[in-house]
Structure formats: structure tokens, C-alpha cells
Amino acid sequence: AQTVTQSQPEMSVQEAETVTLSCTYDTSESDYYLFWYKQPPSRQMILVIRQEAYKQQNATENRFSVNFQKAAKSFSLKISDSQLGDAAMYFCAYQTGANNLFFGTGTRLTVIP
């Protein structure tokens, strides 16, 4: 069974600083996809960044980047130059060819002005 674990229920970061959110997953599949989604309070879930497992290069989207360690089944999210608008719940998610997403329990990120 696929499982996604986010071991940090809450994190905080000073505005303009860098923070890393952790995610580990368990799977027997060799081909899959990994995502980080952001869910602001009372707002809808939006995609932050995605990674194909077959790609060795870590994905980057502006201030967001991932550290994908396939052998360790680790997929952490780094947010650089944190902004107040980054405050949200962050969910790590896993997807196989079956296409439904498996989510972790989330990490609540607080940005301190």
C-alpha cells in the first residue's frame, strides 16, 4: 500500500528566510509522480511543484524547489525568501498510473513578519 508521511505537523519561518518541509513515502512502484500542494486557509488547494520519479533532476519553480531522493523515498520542499502569502497547509502527494492521489497529513506553515 502506498503511504505518504509528513512528520512535521507545524513549521514556522521568518519572512525572507528559507524553510524545508519534509515528506517520505512508501511504494513498490518504480514509475510514479510526486507533488506538493498548498491549501491556504478557507481557500482551494493549488499545485506548488511536481516531480516525475524517473527524472533525476530536482524540480524548481521560482522560490520553490524539491530535494528528491528516490532511494530514500524522500521528497522535501524548500521555500526560499519566504513571503507572508506562503502561509498555508502544505500537502505532499503521490500518484501512480492509476491517477488518484495519496496525500500526507499536511504541514501547517506559519510565516512570521
Nearest to residue 23, comparing CAs of 12, 39, 9? 9
Q: Which is nearer to another protein, 7 or 105 (CB)?
A: 105
Question: Is there binding between residue 101 and another protein (CB under 8 A)?
Answer: yes
Instruction: State yes or no: residue 11 binds another protein (CB under 8 A).
Output: no
Exposed (0-12), middle (13-18) or buried (19+): which is 8, by Cβ within 10 Å? middle
100 binding another protein? (CB under 8 A): yes
Choose which of 8, 45, 78, 96 interacts with another protein (CB under 8 A).
Answer: 45
> Distances from the Cα of 103 to the Cαs of 77, 84, 107, in angstroms?
15, 24, 11
CB 35 within 8 A of CB 45: no
CB of 79 to another protein, least distance (A): 19
Which residues of the chain form contacts with another protein (CB under 8 A)?
Answer: 4, 33, 35, 37, 43-47, 50, 52, 91, 93, 95, 98-106
